[in-house]
Amino acid sequence: MRAPPLASLFTPAWSLLQRMGEWQPHRVSVWNRFAVALLITTVAVWARVALAPAESGGRFVTLALAAALSALYGGFRAGMLSTLVGMLAVNFLMVRPYFSLAFESPLEAFWLNLWHLLTQLAVVGSIAVMQRQHARLADLRSEHQRSHQQLEATFEHSATGMAHSEINGRWIRINQTYCDLVGYSHEEMMGMTFLDITHPEDLHQDLGLLRRLLAREIPHYQMEKRYLHRDGRVVWVHLTLSLVRQPDGSPDYLIAVVKDIGERKKTEEALRTSEQLLRQAQRLAGLATWRADVATRRFTALTDSSEVLGLPAGEFSDEELLARTHPDDKPVVLRQWAAAVQGHGSYNLEYRLSFDGRERWFSVQAEFERNANGRAVRALGVTQDITARKRAELEIQRLNTSLEQRIQLRTQALRGAYNELESYSYAVAHDLRSPLRIINGFAQALQEDNPALDATSQQHLQRIMAASKKMGELIDGLLQLSQVGRGPLQRSTVDLSAIARRLLEEQAAQEPGRRVEWSVQDGLRADADAALVDALLQNLLHNAWKYTAGTPAATIRVWARQHEGRTWFCVQDNGAGFDMARADKLFQPFQRLHMPHEFGGLGIGLATALRIVQRHGGVFEAEGTPGKGARFAFTLPAGDPAEANAG
């Protein structure tokens, strides 16, 4: 059997010494350390007495070893406690008689104890200093390890990309954030350089700054650059690059820190777009923004506003603006500005300024920023050039004045025409009726005075009387049509249902032999002229009654419907109807769609009905089918108060 190597024999002892060297007494309580020191000293005293007589000498050596072991375990105080206890044992407990001084000469005892005490102070003190140094080294080692771990964690788990690279661009180490930023795995990135992922358009600037860094022209550099992601898209980053040099000053490696600024770039692009659109909108609308310092009384145009308004400068003092303000507008400007600064009102007005000898109108609004004391410190405002609008308003005023004059002239002309129409109506009503009565009277006299006239003469007299009667009816129709368009409307709530029932009952009473089924919807009401509505329904219902004369099961219906927010009143029958192709003649006075021998009448009723509806501002519609009846619908909207004076 081979003997173990010498080194293997000393390994346990060396390991024990290392553990003893790494022991830190302060981790154990003081009482524990003192108890161990007393135990070691007691064991040493017992062993010394048991192994060799105390009189043989070397008594202090054994106790010195106990003190050293106590100091190693418990520190300086434990070692000194063991030293003092050991000195008592040497002097009084190790030589008989016990509890008596073991030395014959007190002087010898003094020097031996003093020398032992000094020696132990040196030994125990050295051990304590060594332990403190070792503890300090252990703390430094632990702190260094913790700092190293923190640096490693900071590098690996940083929210920004971090990397160390060689001067030629090859990566020495790179964290996962950097890899995720460009979409490559860690293994793929280690086989690449920063040149492979840099956008070609940014490479020249990057390399130029790197050359300056290597030439000691700059200590480090920062730049915004673009990387090419693995999927082909562009990634905007902010790069900070630093150079670490060797002790001799030569370049060692590069430290790169990159931060994703894609969202910021999108925001900046959106902001630039918004600013550009705002400038375009201001130019199109003639708007300008400005800022005023209340203390210095200086006005500054913002975002190229001076160009938008064509101002000679981008900054004005209040005196310069007042000098350009129209004299008539200056008091209003000063009054409103002072009130707005004091918080007693808003600054919103229109006034005139002169630039290059031209007077221009501006609309100005402003809001004030105030400090904690409520004092106005700054004003932000918007100005719009309204010169074109003001000129248009002045032109409209001029045209309105001219229009009023023309309206007055036209009104006078219409009043004259109205008076002529009144005279014409009077002439028709009176002057034309007299000859008709004379003609009709003489025809009747001839018929009565000459009963022996032959049949032909009697027939001629009948035709004369019928023609005069027809002529009288035509005159009445003309008068009725003319009277519809005259006089103001007297609007009130009119019950169309009651009027329709009354008129239909009157028709039924005049022709009791006819069987006509008629129905009127309840609650038909309108804000209208009662007399005109009565005439309107009388014409429509008279036509419905007349044109259903040849229908066996005649029906007439009066009802209403809602369409597009309007109420339509309808009169419907199943009578003769009419051809929609000839509907354009339906509302023309004295135009008829049926032969006189079929249905009587003058053809004035629907023309009158249309005029009444139009007087109320309504709409009139008609639908019909030959042999299947007709439907007439109209609206009577609420009136305008001004129409009461219409004639």
Higher pLDDT, 37 or 208: 208
Q: How many CB atoms lie within 10 A of CB 254?
A: 23
Which of 270-279, 409-418, 567-576 is most confident? 567-576
pLDDT at 642 over 60: no
Residue 2 lies in a domain: no
Give the domain CATH number at 330: 3.30.450.20
Q: How many CB atoms lie within 10 A of CB 103?
A: 15
Q: Are residues 405 and 378 in the same domain?
A: no
pLDDT at 257: 93
> Look-up: residue for tokens 């008068």?
479
* Whole-number Cα distances in Å, 360 to 315, 349, 505: 18, 14, 73
pLDDT at 644: 40
Which of 12-16, 295-299, 470-474 is most confident? 295-299
| Closest by CA position to 223, among listed 242, 248, 235, 241 | 241
pLDDT at 618 over 80: yes
Give the domain CATH number at 566: 3.30.565.10
Residue 164 lies in a domain: yes
What residues have CB less than 8 Å from 317, skipping those under 6 apart? 297, 298, 299
Residue 614 lies in a domain: yes
Helix H segments across 316-454?
Answer: 318-324, 330-341, 387-426, 433-449
* CA–centroid distance for 452 within its chain: 103
Q: How many CB atoms lie within 10 A of CB 545?
A: 23
pLDDT at 483 over 60: no
pLDDT at 611: 85
pLDDT at 13: 47
Q: Are residues 219 and 347 in the same domain?
A: no
* Interval 37-47 mean pLDDT: 80
pLDDT at 579 over 80: no
Q: Please give the Cα distance from 530 to 24 (Å, whole number).
A: 118
Q: Are residues 632 and 502 in the same domain?
A: yes
Q: Please give the Cα distance from 379 to 347 (Å, whole number).
A: 10
| Closest by CA position to 167, among listed 245, 229, 252 | 252
Residue 8 lies in a domain: no
Q: How many CB atoms lie within 10 A of CB 556?
A: 23
Q: Please give the Cα distance from 137 to 131 (Å, whole number).
A: 10
pLDDT at 165 over 70: yes
Q: Please give the Cα distance from 555 to 422 (Å, whole number).
A: 41
Q: Are residues 410 and 432 in the same domain?
A: yes
* Interval 66-80 mean pLDDT: 80
* Interval 256-260 mean pLDDT: 93
pLDDT at 363: 86
Tell me the backbone φ, ψ of residue 460, rounded to 5 degrees.
-65, -40
Percent of the chain with pLDDT over 90: 19
Q: Are residues 545 and 576 in the same domain?
A: yes
Q: Which one of 135, 167, 201 terminates a domain? A: 135
Residue 7 lies in a domain: no
Q: Please give the Cα distance from 148 to 153 (Å, whole number).
A: 9
Q: Please give the Cα distance from 305 to 311 (Å, whole number).
A: 8
pLDDT at 584 over 80: no
Amino acid at 7: A
Rg (CA), the chain: 61
Q: Please give the Cα distance from 627 to 631 (Å, whole number).
A: 13
Q: Please give the Cα distance from 204 to 227 (Å, whole number).
A: 14
pLDDT at 227: 93
pLDDT band at 251 (very low <50, low <70, confident <90, very high): very high
Q: Which two tokens stand for residue 136?
A: 């300090």
pLDDT at 557 over 60: yes
Q: Are residues 355 and 502 in the same domain?
A: no
pLDDT at 299: 86
Q: Are residues 569 and 527 in the same domain?
A: yes
Residue 482 lies in a domain: no
CA torsion angle for 582, 587, 590, 592 (degrees, to 10)?
30
Q: Is the bond preceding 97 in cis, omega lying within 30 degrees of 0?
A: yes
pLDDT at 156: 80
- Total count of domains within the chain: 5
Tell me the backbone φ, ψ of residue 370, rounded to 5 degrees.
-125, 155
Q: Which two tokens stand for residue 470?
A: 């027809």
What residues have CB less than 8 Å from 252, skipping those under 6 apart? 243, 244, 245, 246
Q: Is 312 exposed, middle or buried (0-12, 13-18, 19+ CB in 10 A)?
A: exposed
Q: Which two tokens stand for residue 339?
A: 């009130």
pLDDT at 643 over 80: no
* Whole-number Cα distances in Å, 84 to 38, 62, 73, 105: 10, 13, 17, 20
pLDDT band at 472 (very low <50, low <70, confident <90, very high): low
Which tens digit of pLDDT belongs to each residue from 586-609? 655 545 544 444 444 445 677 788
pLDDT at 239: 94
Contact (Cβ atoms closer than 8 angstroms) between residue 550 and residue 511 = no
Q: Please give the Cα distance from 157 to 394 (Å, whole number).
A: 72
Task: Decide: helix, strand or coil at residue 98.
Answer: coil
Q: Which one of 473, 498, 531 terminates a domain? A: 473
pLDDT band at 22 (very low <50, low <70, confident <90, very high): low
- Angle subtended at Cα 483 by Cα 478 and Cα 486, rounded to the nearest 5 degrees: 140
pLDDT at 245: 93
Lowest-pLDDT range of 59-73, 169-183, 503-517, 615-629: 59-73
* Whole-number Cα distances in Å, 569 to 266, 348, 496, 559: 63, 51, 9, 6
Task: Decide: helix, strand or coil at residue 563.
Answer: strand
Q: What is the mean pLDDT of the chain?
A: 79
What residues have CB less than 8 Å from 92, skipping those under 6 apart? 98, 99, 100, 101, 102
Q: Please give the Cα distance from 427 to 419 (Å, whole number).
A: 12
Q: Please give the Cα distance from 178 to 171 (Å, whole number).
A: 11
* Interval 515-543 mean pLDDT: 88
Amino acid at 34: F
Q: Are residues 286 and 311 in the same domain?
A: yes
Lowest-pLDDT range of 56-70, 390-404, 496-510: 56-70
Q: Are residues 59 and 87 in the same domain?
A: yes
Lowest-pLDDT range of 146-160, 351-365, 407-421: 407-421
Contact (Cβ atoms closer than 8 angstroms) between residue 575 and residue 629 = yes
pLDDT at 214 over 60: yes
* Interval 553-562 mean pLDDT: 91
Q: Please give the Cα distance from 381 to 370 (Å, whole number).
A: 15
Query: pTM for this one?
Result: 0.41
Lowest-pLDDT range of 69-73, 74-78, 254-258, 445-449: 445-449
Q: Which two tokens stand for residue 11?
A: 């390994």
pLDDT at 285: 64
Q: Please give the Cα distance from 203 to 84 (Å, whole number).
A: 79
Task: Decide: helix, strand or coil at residue 191.
Answer: coil
Domain span including residue 601: 487-645
pLDDT at 5: 57
Contact (Cβ atoms closer than 8 angstroms) between residue 298 and residue 313 = no
**Beta strand extents in 100-215 (DSSP E only):** 161-165, 171-174
Q: Please give the Cα distance from 297 to 295 (Å, whole number).
A: 6
What residues have CB less than 8 Å from 319, skipping those under 6 apart? 297
pLDDT band at 514 (very low <50, low <70, confident <90, very high): confident
Q: Are residues 453 and 503 in the same domain?
A: no
Higher pLDDT, 448 or 16: 448
Residue 74 lies in a domain: yes
Residue 411 lies in a domain: yes
Lowest-pLDDT range of 92-96, 346-350, 638-642: 638-642
The length of the chain is 647
Higher pLDDT, 55 or 134: 134
Q: Which one of 321, 353, 385 terminates a domain? A: 385
Amino acid at 449: D
> Measured in Å, how far apart are the chain's first and last C-alpha atoms?
146
* Interval 406-416 mean pLDDT: 76
Q: Please give the Cα distance from 229 to 197 (Å, whole number).
A: 7
Contact (Cβ atoms closer than 8 angstroms) between residue 315 and residue 299 = yes
Q: Are residues 410 and 375 in the same domain?
A: no
| Closest by CA position to 305, among listed 418, 381, 226 | 381
pLDDT at 610: 84
Enclosing H/E stretch for 465: helix 455-484
> Look-up: residue for tokens 């001219």?
402
Q: How many CB atoms lie within 10 A of CB 191?
A: 10
Q: Are residues 310 and 436 in the same domain?
A: no
Amino acid at 434: S
Tell me the backbone φ, ψ of residue 355, rounded to 5 degrees.
-135, 125
